[in-house]
Structure 1
Amino acid sequence: MSTLAFLPGPGELWIVLAVVLVIFGGKKLPELARAMGSSITQFKHGLKEENDKPERIAGPEEGEEQD
């Protein structure tokens, strides 16, 4: 079975948008979209920082003696 079968179609997206509009109202919607965009940007920034960190090279642990 294709994974595309589980994605919502245009009709379902319109229904979801209408429900969100009814629940949150027209004035709150831009604020929610802005907060969601900011969250996505911060998430991507965090992923980039994690990928930029150098890998720790295995060495003697603290307190261990070297031979």
Structure 2
Amino acid sequence: MMSGIETKIKTEIKTGRQRVTYDTRAIYAPGSGTPLAIHLEARGTGGMNVDCLVLNVADEDNDPICSSKAYGG
């Protein structure tokens, strides 16, 4: 799930369509060394607005939780 989101963001950057501010943050439970989720945010000059939470689970069918998933371009 996370790699699909990151690939779309990378494509916009590599093709020169957008300048992007990109941030990822791991979210941990207290006392745990394993993240519960990863929060991805990306904003771009060509309309990119991505804000997704990717849960750290083994289930490949688990979709990210996104409040915005506009890649622009």
Between Structure 1 and Structure 2, the one with more strand by share is 2
Q: Which one scores higher on RCO, CA 8 angstroms, separation ≥ 6?
A: 2
Larger Rg: 1
Between Structure 1 and Structure 2, the one with more helix by share is 1
Q: Same fold (TM over 0.5)?
A: no
Query: Which category of TM-score, normalised to the shorter sequence, fits these structures?
Result: under 0.3
TM-score by length of 2: 0.19
TM-score by length of 1: 0.20
